[in-house]
Structure formats: C-alpha cells, structure tokens
Amino acid sequence: MADDRPLAGKVALVTGGDRGIGKAIALRLAKMGADIAITYRKRAEEAAEALREVEAEGVRAVSVQADLGVAEQAIEAVRAVRARLGPVSILVNNAGVGFASPFEEIELESWRRQIEVNLNGAYLVTRESLKDMLSAGWGRIIFMSSVAGLRGVEFLSAYSAAKAGLIGLARALAAEVASKGITVNVVAPGFVGTRLGLSYFQWLDQRLARKPGESLKEFLSRIPPRRLVTEEEVAAVVAFLASPDASGVNGQVIVVDAGASLGLG
C-alpha cells in the first residue's frame, strides 16, 4: 500500500550514511520506499554493508566516496547521485567530524577541518541538491546539528561553532524556499552511543585523569532516563521530517536528547 511506502519514487541522499546515525537514517528512509544514496569518506567495507542492508528493503541504493570537506568532491557527489539514481528529493546532511580540545589548544587546521566538513560541506551539498528540488517543486532538507550547536559543549568549540552555523543556515534557507514546496529543518541530537559520541567521554576521562567510563557515568546520572539516545530514535525524527506528513513543519530545530537538556537529573 502507498501508505506503507510514502517515499516511493523519491531519492534520498544521506551524507555520512555508512555507519552510526547516518546508516540508521538510510535504513529508515529505505523502509519508507525511498531510493537511497549514501556518501562515505574512507570506510568502503562499512559503506558496502550499509548498501546491502538498504537494498534488502527492496529499493535502489548507491554509495559515493567523497570528502565533503573538499568543495569539488562535495559538489560532484550530488552530481554522481543524480546521474545514477535521478534527482535528489530528500537530503539529510549528516556527515560530520568533531575533535575534542581545550580552546587554546585548537590548531587552525583542526578548526578549519571541522568547519569545512560540518558547515561548508553541508552548504555545498545542499546548494547542488536544491536545484533538483526547485525543479520538482518538492523537497525535504534536514540538517543534523547537535545540542552542541544550541548551547555549546566544553572542549568542542569548533564543533559547536559549526553546528550552530547549520542552524542559522537552515532557518534562513527555510524562509527562502518555503513557497517552493520545500521544507528545511534541523535535528539536534544529544550524545548518542556511537563511536563518535563515546569517544568524547573517553577523551574526557584521559584529559581529566579519571577512571575509564567515569565521565560517561557522571553524564548519565544527570539524564532522566539514565541512558544515551539511540541512532534509531534520531532516525525516527528524521524520517518524519522527510515524510509528506511533515509539510507543515519548516525552519524548526528538534532536539533528541532523552531529556538531558531539561536538567531534571
């Protein structure tokens, strides 16, 4: 039934879709009938496994290797998707990098890398994908920001700056294309139990000379459900925003952090 596959006939591009949150999003959109394209930078085996799982949902799937911190590669990635699957209908800007460091120790190259991938790469992929959506008169653009982009996280200054930039970009673009049948929204996850998310707490333990796992345990004690958010919980929110049912949601930032920002712990 059409209601079971509301995204049938749509092409969804999920950057950084080879693992973690990106993979969970790609699988969720595939279950809704969308053909899926993912980008990856260097984990070819993980990208291949993600494609196998996506294709098992009965949709077309392709992967494109690209470093989104390099302008030419970011643009060509979208063009490759268009050539292989067709015009992009749904874009999930998920690819990102983050390096923990005290502010005064951040090297310029590290700062640039985080801005280039997290912010500039998303801008370039969006700009190229938007051409397809404007032609079709329909589209969904979702930026994956972070609670770091809303309130900042200690030792993640560059990452927080880039993720905050995505929120400003999304809100401005949402206003610009609202009359074109295109929505632009932001999902801001809290800490998720991925390798990237857990690596932050491991770094804190080392930096603050704590026992392994102590920083994570302390953080969890302040969250009402005493657990991290899952990839699937984040993917569920993205899937709704990508769906036809979300036509009335535009320019919004949706936090998915298991209540951590409520300060109830």
Question: At which residue do the structure tokens 């009965």 appear?
Answer: 58
Helices 231-242/20-31 angle, 10° precision? 50
Cα–Cα dist 191/160, whole Å? 13
Report which DSSP code applies to 1: -
Residue indicated by tokens 């643009």: 75
Of residues 40, 123, 159, 200, which has the active-site annotation?
A: 159
Can you spell out the DSSP letters for 48-110? HHHHHHHHTTTS-EEEEE--TTSHHHHHHHHHHHHHHH-S--EEEE---------GGG--HHH
Q: 72-84 in b/e burial notation, b at 16+ Cβ within 10 A?
A: ebbbebbebbbee
d(CA 62, CA 142): 20
Active site annotation includes 159: yes
Hey, what are 30's tokens?
A: 């595939």
Residues with a catalytic annotation lie at 159
